[in-house]
Amino acid sequence: MNMDTPDHTREIDLIINCSRTVIPAPLAARISSTLDGPIDWKFALNVAQRNAVLPLLGRNLIMGFSDQLPANIASILKIEQSRHLHHNLFLTGKLIELVKFFEANGIKILPFKGPVLAIEAYGDPSLRKFNDLDVLVQPKQFKKAVTLLTESGWESMTSVSWLTKRNWNISRKKDIYFVDRERNVNLELHWKLSGSHFGLPREMNGLWERLGSIELAGTELSTLRFNDLLIYLCLHGARHSWERFGWVCDIHQVVVSKGAVDWEQLFIESRKLGCENVVALGLRLINDFFGFEVPDQRWKKALGDPIFEEMSNEIRGRLFSSDSIPVHIAERYLNHLKLKERFFDRFKLHYHYLTWYSRIIITPNEIDRNVIVLPRGLHSLYYVTRPLRLVYKYFLRSREK
């Protein structure tokens, strides 16, 4: 280890051990022992905030270890808890309003993540950090839902032009981002759960026929069936290269809150959908971070693949670094490729990243406009000059050196 780099092992252990709803006695003793020593609170709070687990950390420290907290830290955590509680209750109320609004107009919606996941996984809407609302609408009702929102004063923050195409439903787009009239609520209206390049397989289209439900503030809300939810959460985390520890906590809490899990059926469904590797990585992460042992031999064998150990270690180092470490496009591409099992899924992934790289290479930016200043009427020439500039910068110029 570099001697110039501070060792934050104690702070990282504190964050991980407090990022759960139930703390057993042996773990509580370990947390107490950690708090008896010096804590870099700036690091701990910043990393917990960045990883969306500050609500859990704060709740557990205030409730179980308040006498070991410095007065200023206890004050910060209490203020943050109060602010977070009001924010989440506000969004929860807005979600219920949306459900009733759509139902009154003949549209069934499926809320996911946000308040619903907070209740399902954590049993309390205040224990999970979320900043917007996500709802899924069946494709046949998506355009109607967009029209209703627009007519009600919601403003789309992303393009809706693709909806005018005849075959819009084969678009790679998965959602439209809306903000309400007062700009207090952000809403992602989905017609599918994930993008096509790293999306849920077509075999999951039947999820609308196997929904569960929960009651929230006296309103019944539709929810994803357990296996569908767990597979989706693993896909979502993997798609975003596990950039938040909170997503790992979601999977852990969903599994432990379920109690009895049919691991055999989960294995069968994951393999059928070509998601065995994706789910295995998610389960490997909750094993490595929380010590959760999957009581199924087939899953144990899958989790034992060295590739998951390597990916888990890389994810841990990135999540708990002092500064946020971005996942670059090439690294994300390789991580995604490691998890793909079927030829067609790998083909879609290759195609997605090829078009992504092509757009990066071709599309002009501010640097191109500063290097060569062209009249407005000749701006189309930037699409020619940009590739030439990149060739010079990364190939010709490097040879000159």
- Per-residue pLDDT for 393 more than 50? yes
Q: Where are the beta strands (DSSP E) in 30-81?
A: none
Four-residue CA torsion sign, 98, 99, 100, 101 = positive
Once rounded to an integer, what is the mean pLDDT over residues 72-101? 95
Once rounded to an integer, what is the mean pLDDT over residues 66-79? 96
**Phi, psi for residue 259 in degrees, rounded to 5:** 80, -95
Once rounded to an integer, what is the mean pLDDT over residues 282-289? 97
Q: How far is CA 62 from CA 76, 171, 250, 352, in A?
A: 11, 48, 21, 46
Q: How far is CA 241 from CA 181, 275, 281, 331, 392, in A?
A: 33, 15, 11, 9, 32
| Cβ–Cβ under 8 Å, residues 107 and 152 | no
pLDDT 10s digits, 309-343: 999 999 999 999 999 898 888 898 889 889 988 88
Domain spans of the chain, in order of start: 363-400
pTM: 0.88
- Per-residue pLDDT for 72 more than 60? yes
